[in-house]
Amino acid sequence: MQGNKPQTRDAYTLILAAIDSGIYRPGERLVESELAERFGVSRTPIREALQRLETQSLLARDGRSLIVASLDHNQLSELYVVRAELEALAARLAAKHATPEEVRVLKEMVANDHSLLGDPEAMSRANRRFHKQVHLASHNRYLVQQLELVHRSMALLATTSLAAEGRDEAALSEHTGIVRAIEAGDVEAAASALRNHISNAFETRLMHVAVGGEQ
């Protein structure tokens, strides 16, 4: 039993990373034997990992099969409401507790991300790194854990809002405003800037869906 635990964690991490990176997309069926072969892991830890992902609502039942879950409009709205408030709290705490080194890292991230404009997938990865750094700068482990759960659910979205025309430049400008508020120690401005940033991303996604795109 003890020997299976590391492998189980590895299987879970591998499948989760594959969903997060878009290898397995919403609605796609996951097959134990195929996953075991892909990741070089036996079927027992794969099965346990799938069960864990199902309990976290990242996978859903389709008859006897497990598929990557997708979010309907209400779930999407609920997710963004929670995300906006938790992210705003992270920014608020970061404005109080971020070290000078953490602020410099955030500024360097924004500066470097300008080279990724026009590449939605690369921008999406950079966006996740930026937000993760803000979370860590909050210096609140419980908040970081909750935000990890929220961002895990974001992997169930088939597209990134950063693919919308002009959204990548706007997002970088918003990131700049967030970092400035954190650097200034302005807790209200930091929280407001990050909440507005999430609101703009949500609005962009809703518009994309309204004209016939994927979530």
- H helices present in 98-165, as ranges: 100-113, 120-137, 141-154
pLDDT at site 7: 55
Q: In Å, how far are 14, 28, 95 from 180, measured between CA atoms?
A: 36, 41, 9
| C-beta of residue 22 within 8 angstroms of C-beta of residue 12 | no
CA atoms within 13 A on the CB side of 211: 6
Q: Which residue has the tokens 């937000």?
A: 131
Hey, what amino acid is at 164?
A
CA distances from 207 to 54, 85, 87 (A): 30, 22, 22
CB under 8 A, 24+ apart: contacts of 45-51 = 45/4, 45/7, 45/8, 45/10, 45/11, 46/11, 46/15, 48/4, 48/8, 48/11, 48/12, 49/8, 49/11, 49/12, 49/14, 49/15, 50/15
Per-residue pLDDT of the chain (215 residues; tens, 9 = 90+): 344 445 555 899 899 888 887 889 888 999 999 999 999 989 999 999 999 999 988 999 988 889 999 888 899 999 999 999 999 999 999 999 999 999 999 999 999 999 999 999 899 999 999 999 999 999 999 999 999 989 888 888 867 888 888 999 999 999 999 999 999 999 999 999 999 999 999 999 888 777 765 55
pLDDT attached to residue 155 = 80
- Is residue 88 within 8 Å of 105, Cβ to Cβ? no
How many whole angstroms separate alpha carbon 24 and alpha carbon 35? Answer: 11
Task: Pick the closest to residue 178 from 126, 86, 110 (CA basis).
Answer: 110
The reported pLDDT for the residue numbered 121 is 87
Q: In what order do the strands lie in the sheet with 59-62?
A: 29-30, 65-68, 59-62
Domains in the chain (CATH in brackets) are 4-68 (1.10.10.10), 73-210 (1.20.120.530)
